[in-house]
Structure 1
Amino acid sequence: MADSIQRLHAAVLAARHADPALSRTARLAGEGLPKMAKKLAEEAFEVGLEAVQGERHRTIQESADLLYNLVVLWSEMGIAPADVWHEMDRREQLYGIAEKLPKERRKAQARRIAAAAPLLRAGG
């Protein structure tokens, strides 16, 4: 799977500069991050909707669309798949592969980031 995502990422990076009239990826790149985020949210909703309706095949198809849009968003933000894999490895070491970062810890991280933001803006 990681190989497929890596190949998709490379293809997205290459397609970003294609003719937007011919390339969905180039069109999304031209529309900017807000449009990319909106498309990602739409695809996530569609995955959930198909799953709730018990549509296994459609859930698979929408999941592929979701992954595509996620990789497009990553490419816009300068995120490589390896960056995400490193974070997943880090979390596995802390919590196990089938767990996600506890919400309380995320809230504490957000508070630390918010507290540091004025220092970063001031150059300190």
Structure 2
Amino acid sequence: MADSILRLHAAVLAARLRDPAVSRTARLASEGLPKMAKKLAEEAFEVGLEAVQGDRRRTILESADLIYNLVVLWSEIGIAPDDVWREMDRREQLYGIAEKLPKTRGKPVARAATGRRTLLGV
């Protein structure tokens, strides 16, 4: 998957230079960051909606759209996939692969299964 996203990122960077009349990516780039963020939010909503409705195939299709729009947004603000991979690696070392960085910090508690420490509210 990481290789696919790296290839997508490279393709998005190249497509941004094309004619917006023939390239969806170039059109999104020309419309600016607010439009890119809006498209990303729309796709995230559609993924959730399809999942709640139990439509596996549509959830897959919308997930691919979500990833595309995320990469387009990254390209606009100078984020490379490797930047995100480094952050994911950092979080894995701190919290484990299946945990998300907590929004609020609480008292650390030991996690019995792995010996890693986590925070309350995770």
Is the TM-score greater than 0.5? yes
RMSD: 0.5
What is aligned with 2:34? 34
**TM-score w.r.t. length of structure 1:** 0.84
Residue deviations 1:38-57 (CA, integer Å, cap 9, x gap): 00000000000000000000
5+ long unaligned stretches in structure 1? 106-124
Residue deviations 1:12-67 (CA, integer Å, cap 9, x gap): 00000101010000000000000000000000000000000000000000000000
Query: Counterparts in 2 of 1:1-124, with a 5 A limit?
Result: 1-105=1-105
Number of positions where the alignment pairs a residue of Structure 1 with one of Structure 2: 105
Where relative contact order (Cα < 8 A, 6+ residues apart) is larger, the structure is 1
Alpha-carbon distance, 1:99 to partner:
0.2
**TM-score w.r.t. length of structure 2:** 0.85
Write the distance in 2 (CA, Å) between the matches of 1:54 and 1:7: 30
Write the distance in 2 (CA, Å) between the matches of 1:102 and 1:66: 23
Residue deviations 1:58-107 (CA, integer Å, cap 9, x gap): 000000000000000000000000000000000000000000011114xx
What code does the residue aligned with 2:43 have?
Answer: E
State, as a whole percentage, how many aligned pairs show the same letter: 88
Q: Aligned to 2:79, what secondary structure does the other structure show?
A: coil
5+ long unaligned stretches in structure 2? 106-122
Write the distance in 1 (CA, Å) between the matches of 2:97 and 2:77: 25
